[in-house]
Structures are given as structure tokens and as C-alpha cells.
Amino acid sequence: MKTNSTVETVLARRSIRSFVDKPLPHDELETIAICAKHAPSANNRQEWMFFVIEDRNRTAKLAAVIGEAMGRATYDMYKPQALIMVAHKKDAPFGREDDGCAMENIMLAAQSFGIGSVWINQLQGLCEIPAVRAHLTELGVPEDYEVHGMAALGYAAKEPPELERTSPVIWIGSAPSA
């Protein structure tokens, strides 16, 4: 397999669900946020906003609000060191797809700095619950934006388990090199 540092970053990324208590460099988070903004968006609409929460108390508060809405009192989003919420305009025709591109940029940029990440999906479908919306408003999310993806970030406390990649790749009209 031909490789380079970008490919190695892609192949090394795994979802991390347990973080050590060690702050993340602010300048690396800034770079990660810039990478989020550079993701492709349908028709270049860029109808998204990124919220970087570095304060663990605020992240814990958000997790508590989500947990309350889900009926899971102990929900903690894996207690990340930082969290990036990706919010898209509700009527953005490809908002979810755009989010996915930004989320992957965030997770790969994090990986390139040795920072672990995991997609947190729990806000999907909960944004219009009044207590959740009130909290999003407190964080600065406009009423006409919703959040589907959040990236929990931190240094991995342990290696993730092995994961076999099983999706077929069908080659048509050419043969893969060995």
C-alpha cells in the first residue's frame, strides 16, 4: 500500500471514549477549528457554525442537560477535555452532509496532533426540547441552527480495541495493485 503522513493519520484515527485529565493546547484547538471551516460544503454554502468548548465545567453542564433530556442522569459525553459542536442552519439542504465533512476534518486534524476524538450524536433530535434549546441559546447557538454532530476531544486514556474493516471495495475496469 502506498502511504504518506496524511494517509497514516487517516488510518490511525479511532474513536476514543476514555480521556486522561490533561489540557489540550489552545493553539492546536485553533488549528482544528480552522480545519473544520475548510471542509467542503454543498454549493459552498458554509451554513454552519463551530462552537469550541474548552471549559470542562461547561462541557459537563451540556452533558447533564442532554442526559436529562434523554432520561440518562449519568450521561457524561466521556468527560472530554474539549468539545466542538457543529451547528448547521436548519434549512440548509445538505446540513447533515456538510456536518459530516467538518466532523471528519476535526477528527483527522485532532489525530494529527495526537489528540483522540469521538463523534457525539446525542443532540440529534433533542435540539428543540425547551431545556436543551435554552442551553444551546446560552452557548450562543442561534434559534435557526441545530446540532447533530459534536466532537469530544482529549488524550486517549487507553488504546481502542482492534477493529476489522469489512466494507467491500469493488474494482471496476482496473485491477488493484498488490
Give the binding site for ligand FMN (CB under 6 A). 14-15, 17, 118-122, 160, 163
Instruction: Say if CB 150 and CB 85 are below 8 A apart.
Output: yes
From the CB of 80, what's the least distance to ligand FMN, in Å?
A: 11
DSSP, collapsed to helix, strand or coil, labels residue 78 as: coil
* Of 50 and 119, CB closest to ligand FMN: 119
17 or 90, CB closer to ligand FMN?
Answer: 17
Between 71 and 173, CB nearer to ligand FMN? 71
Instruction: Give the other-Cβ count within 10 Å of 69's Cβ.
Output: 19
- β-bridge pairing 145-154 and 48-53: unpaired
Are 115 and 154 within 8 A, CB to CB? yes
Q: Closest separation between CB of residue 119 and ligand FMN, Å?
A: 4
Smallest separation (angstroms) from ligand FMN to the CB of 175: 28
How far apart are CB 165 and ligand FMN at their closest, in Å? 8
Say how far apart CA 61 and CA 75 lie, in whole Å.
10
Residue (26 or 96) nearer to ligand FMN, CB: 96
Cα(17)–Cα(116) distance, integer angstroms: 8
